[in-house]
Amino acid sequence: MSTLQNDLYLRALLREPTERTPIWMMRQAGRYLPEYREVRKHAGDFMALCKNPELACEVTLQPLRRFPLDAAILFSDILTIPDAMGLGLYFEAGEGPKFERPVRDLASIQKLGVPDPEQELGYVMDAVRTIRRELHGKVPLIGFSGSPWTLATYMVEGGSTKNFSVVKKLMFADPQAMHLLLDKLADSVATYLNAQIAAGAQAVMIFDTWGGVLSPRDYREFSLNYMQKIVSRLTREADGRRVPVTLFTKGGGAWLADMAATGADALGVDWTTDLGVARQRVQDKVALQGNMDPSVLYAPPARIEDEVATILASYGQGHGHVFNLGHGIHPEVDPDHAGAFIEAVHKLSPAYHR
């Protein structure tokens, strides 16, 4: 493997000194880029794009050709694991992901197997290997997965949901079935992420998109508990370097101290929590990633720069901050505004690392 030319992101996650704050964007490879839309059209549909390692590599690299980002993130989807479990994933225009065969009782959960990452999910590993090769050591590659709770919400609901009634009914009415499902998913995610690391991912991230819909007690029992299991099983060294792991619970600002105790290296923070407050809550035990509201990118560049200045000031002096959006970039954002965002971080952050 070639040596890494830019390791700012990895150093920041381990709270090592950096000369400026590194930056990447959630969903940086995606629909806001015209070149992505071209490739997507050529692929036919979203999962066809995910399952073609060459095309997945191409769209992963597209934002790096445009912008001086400090990391690449594997182009894939969080629902690859439930898809590999045979639930019949498909996408309906304007409605997001759906499953033909949702799991809603103990019997259907008992039948689920843990997918073999090099077999049923081999296309993801091929994409990781291809991207890692094509990056030529320019920046590190981030692998990722959905959290067990987040994957379970889609698998039980059968798709996206606004009120989580079906999955919460299972959780409250049959906690034994819910825990069995989450246990199988924790096994699957740990195996999947370790396979990504073996294939070349240099850092990994767990997206707990729906952890924020739980009460504090239920969050600890049904989400955090399983992310902690995964963290304890992850390969933490590869190519002679530490492989950092980041946990991100959207809407999870109140639980940052609990999350910091999992053994993760870094936590993602959304825009509803002030970064300075987040830093106090975790007492610099972990690095923090975030946390600009993606909608700020609709604003003129001067307003974007102003927001970057505010967030840098709220984190304050010192290392251990990876600049990012508080969630994925919106499809309608002008790519030039994303460029202005990245430029502002490059311009304003060195002052916080002296």
* pLDDT value, residue 91: 86
Question: Does 184 fall in a domain?
Answer: yes
Mean pLDDT calculated for residue range 211-217: 98
Q: Looking at 214-311, which runs of residues are DSSP E strands?
A: 237-238, 241-242, 245-249, 266-268, 287-292
Question: By percentage, how much of the chain surpasses pLDDT 70?
Answer: 99
pLDDT at 206 over 70: yes
What are the pLDDT digits (tens) for 227-245? 999 999 999 999 999 999 9
Question: Does 240 fall in a domain?
Answer: yes
Cα→Cα distances 182→186, 190, 199, 331, 352, Å: 6, 12, 25, 31, 41
Q: How far apart are CA 28 and CA 67, in angstroms?
A: 10
Question: Does 235 fall in a domain?
Answer: yes
The answer on whether 279 is annotated among ligand-binding residues is no
Crossing angle of helices 175-199 and 225-233, rounded to 10°: 30
Count of CA atoms in the C-beta half-sphere (13 A) of 237: 2
Least Cα distance to 319 among 79, 9, 1, 16 occurs for: 16
Calculate the average pLDDT of the chain: 97
Question: Does 299 fall in a domain?
Answer: no
Question: Does 34 fall in a domain?
Answer: yes
Q: How far apart are CA 293 and CA 174, in angstroms?
A: 37
For the annotated catalytic residues, the residue numbers are: 27, 31, 40, 77, 154
The answer on whether 209 is annotated among ligand-binding residues is yes
DSSP labels for 233-246?
Answer: HS--EETTEE--EE
pLDDT at 1 over 70: no
Q: Looking at 192-332, which runs of residues are DSSP E strands?
A: 203-208, 237-238, 241-242, 245-249, 266-268, 287-292, 321-325
Cis? peptide before 194, omega within 30° of 0: no
What are the pLDDT digits (tens) for 269-317? 999 999 999 999 999 999 999 999 999 999 999 999 999 999 999 999 9
* pLDDT value, residue 10: 98
The domain that contains 72 carries what CATH number?
Answer: 3.20.20.210
Question: Does 224 fall in a domain?
Answer: yes
Judged by DSSP in three states, 217 sits in: helix
The answer on whether 29 is annotated among ligand-binding residues is yes
Q: How far apart are CA 45 and CA 238, in angstroms?
A: 34
What are the pLDDT digits (tens) for 88-143? 999 877 778 999 999 999 999 999 999 999 999 999 999 999 999 999 999 999 99
The answer on whether 27 is annotated among ligand-binding residues is yes
Tokens of 295: 């909608």
Q: How many domains does the chain have?
A: 1
Question: Does 340 fall in a domain?
Answer: no
Decide if 259 contacts 267 (C-beta within 8 A).
yes
Least Cα distance to 129 among 143, 115, 114 occurs for: 143
The answer on whether 240 is annotated among ligand-binding residues is no
Question: Does 93 fall in a domain?
Answer: yes
Q: How far apart are CA 228 and CA 264, in angstroms?
A: 8
What are the pLDDT digits (tens) for 249-268? 999 999 999 999 999 999 99
pTM score of the predicted model: 0.97
What are the pLDDT digits (tens) for 322-354? 999 999 999 999 999 999 999 999 999 999 999
Q: How far apart are CA 92 and CA 132, in angstroms?
A: 32
Whether the CA torsion 66, 69, 73, 77 is positive or negative: it is negative
* pLDDT value, residue 2: 52
Domain encompassing residue 212: 25-285
Decide if 298 contacts 289 (C-beta within 8 A).
no
